Amino acid sequence: MEERLTKEELIEVMAILMEEEGFEIYEPMAEGEEYLPDFLAVFEDENGERQQIAVQVEDCYTVKTEEAEKKAKAIAEHCRKSGESFFFVVPLECEEEGKKKFEEWGLSDVAEFIPVGIEFEEEGGEEKL
């Protein structure tokens, strides 16, 4: 049986991967905002300027929900106004559905679609990424 990660597990994995790539990870906080990214990834570019990326992670089930659509559209609108980047992340096993929603929701002008594949290896009874 193929193991699928939950949305919470995917968020954790993406945050760890981005930290390993040199990003600082923050929990978004904004008063009056109903829909926030799952986390913010911040990095410093070669000119010393800090760049912020809003990251929304959906699993194969949540990507089909109205809640995910409202969240994606709200984040996209914020990023259009602020000039911030936006990553829309889905598992590789539902890449087709995620890409369909990404296009349907009109995110391509402001967001980057990122399908993520994660393999588990069992070694000594433990699962490894």
> How high is the pLDDT of residue 123?
57
- The pLDDT profile of the chain, 129 residues, written as one tens digit per residue, is 356 778 999 999 999 999 999 999 999 987 777 899 999 999 988 888 899 999 999 999 999 999 999 999 999 999 999 999 999 999 999 999 999 999 999 999 999 999 998 765 555 544 444
The residue extents of the domains of the chain are 7-116
- What residues contact 11, with CB distance under 8 A and at least 6 apart? 38, 39, 57
Can you name the CATH fold of 7-116? Trna Endonuclease; Chain: A, domain 1 (3.40.1350)
Rounded Cα gap, residues 53 and 110, in angstroms? 11
pLDDT at site 37: 96
C-alpha span between 17 and 74 (Å, rounded)? 25
Q: Could you give the residue ranges of the DSSP H alpha helices within 2-119?
A: 7-20, 66-82, 95-104
pLDDT score of 45: 82
